Amino acid sequence: MARYTCSFIVSVPIEHLQALLIELLQDCDLDVQYYTADYIMAREIPGNVSFSKLVSVEVLIDKSTATEAETRLSIVMKNEELPLQLNNHCRQMFDFVKQAIEHSRHWHLIESLAGS
């Protein structure tokens, strides 16, 4: 199973963050399937890749440490594909969504920490 994680600290009012993230995920051709005040789950829309390569995304919004100035959020992207190649489909989608978050005009990116 391929799995990639990243944490961000963004400057945006917490009450707007969830709606902005849902819009960003939809703009990345992901179907938002479930969300709460501090969690969003989306999946890649079937049709372009095999079922095992379909990517799911979980976004966790850390409301417990959020301030007026900044909010921490984490993303986890995964699929059933074995990551036999460094540049696999899950990694490509991860890089695409990560770049969309980092370059969004809706907030100021304070920090981005990529995991593995």
CATH number for the domain spanning 17: value is: 3.30.530.20
The domain total for the chain is 1
pLDDT digits (tens, 9 = 90+) for 5-31: 999 999 998 889 999 999 999 999 999
Which residue range forms the structural domain that includes residue 72?
Answer: 2-114
pLDDT score of 51: 87
CA distance 40 to 26: 12
The backbone torsions φ and ψ at residue 98, rounded to the nearest 5 degrees and listed phi first, read -60, -45
Rounded to two decimals, the pTM is: 0.90
CA distance 21 to 32: 10
Residue environment code for 8-27, b if the CB has 16+ CB neighbours within 10 A, otherwise e = bbbebebeebbebbbebbee
CA distance 8 to 6: 7
